[in-house]
Amino acid sequence: MRISIELVPRDAQTIVSQLTYIKQHFPAVDSVNFPDLLRYEMRSWECCSFSKPYYDHLIPHLRAIDVNLADPQPLFAVLRENQVREVLVVAGDPPQDMSKRVYPTTSLELIKKCKAEMPGLKVYAGVDPYRSSLRGEMETIKRKIDAGADGFFTQPFFDMRFMEIYSEFLQGQVVFWGISPVTSEKSLLYWETKNNMVFPKKFSPTLRWNVEFARAALKFCRDTHQNIYFMPIRNDVFSYLEGIFGKTIE
């Protein structure tokens, strides 16, 4: 079982501070994944250059629409230089003001390109249980496996019953189950309208509810020998992890 923490690449100093604290206080965490967010100047794979001294398992996210398949060498040169051995390929949303160059590259195409350029690279793909029907998503998953995906990172789950259903269909695959705290009505509305999330009736946008759910999901992954990753996003990373790994939340 592996436990990853998702850290937003705001700047190198902040990330190093977070890595130092997490390494010292949460030894169960053995991996770090970095999303690639256009609102920050630092790219996900650049984080690996100064994060290696803290964690060997580093997983930058790669946005397919940012990659020019006709000349992808700059990206792979950076991955090789930073000794990146794992990546997560996502489709990527276009920039709102179109200030950055994008390409018609799909996640399937980038998965294939990654495996062709770096055969030893472990490539994960995304699973989104909310974008279509279960049948539709499983067909998408099959196409990603056929393209060469070695495993999957899921969008966050908020219902153990739903998670168990997907676990049955993903049996035999390497999966990192996503867990993310939603602790405000504004955040709840965002997830419902932007990402079509479905929350259980007993859900409460409080840190306490989200920590208790994260603990239940962690136990499920331990019992079933699966992986998990926590994505605090706008929440304090340390308080969230303290709650999950032993501190009582009032």
Tell me, what's the pLDDT at 123? Answer: 98
- How confident is residue 39, by pLDDT bands cut at 50, 70 and 90? confident
Cβ contacts of 132-137, under 8 Å, gap ≥ 24: 134/165, 134/166, 134/169
* Sole residue written with tokens 């706008």: 234
Q: Taking a C-beta distance cutoff of 8 angstroms, is the pair 45, 80 a contact?
A: no
Q: Taking a C-beta distance cutoff of 8 angstroms, is the pair 195, 242 a contact?
A: no
Q: Taking a C-beta distance cutoff of 8 angstroms, is the pair 49, 15 a contact?
A: no
Q: Return d(Cα 31, Cα 88) in angstroms, integer.
A: 13
pLDDT digits (tens, 9 = 90+) for 212-234: 999 999 999 999 999 999 999 88
- The contacts of residue 169 (CB under 8 Å, 6+ apart) are 134, 138
Q: Return d(Cα 65, Cα 214) in angstroms, integer.
A: 32
pLDDT digits (tens, 9 = 90+) for 123-169: 999 999 998 899 999 999 999 999 999 999 999 999 999 999 999 99
- How confident is residue 248, by pLDDT bands cut at 50, 70 and 90? very low
| Main-chain phi, psi angles of 4, to 5 degrees | -115, 150
**Alpha-carbon distance values, 116 to 50, 62, 113, 119, 121 (Å):** 27, 16, 5, 6, 9
* DSSP 8-state assignment for residue 247: P
Tell me, what's the pLDDT at 217? Answer: 98
* Average model confidence (pLDDT) across the chain: 93
Give the global pTM.
Answer: 0.94
Token duo for residue 242: 């303290």
Question: In this model, does residue 72 exceed pLDDT 80?
Answer: no
Q: Taking a C-beta distance cutoff of 8 angstroms, is the pair 28, 245 a contact?
A: yes
Q: Using CA atoms of 149, 155, 160, 165 in order, give the dihedral in degrees to the nearest 10.
A: -40
pLDDT digits (tens, 9 = 90+) for 172-188: 999 999 999 999 999 99
- How confident is residue 250, by pLDDT bands cut at 50, 70 and 90? very low
Tell me, what's the pLDDT at 4? Answer: 98
Q: Return d(Cα 120, Cα 176) in angstroms, integer.
A: 20
Q: Return d(Cα 145, Cα 127) in angstroms, integer.
A: 12
Q: Return d(Cα 2, Cα 176) in angstroms, integer.
A: 8
> Average pLDDT, stretch 97-119?
91
- How confident is residue 74, by pLDDT bands cut at 50, 70 and 90? confident
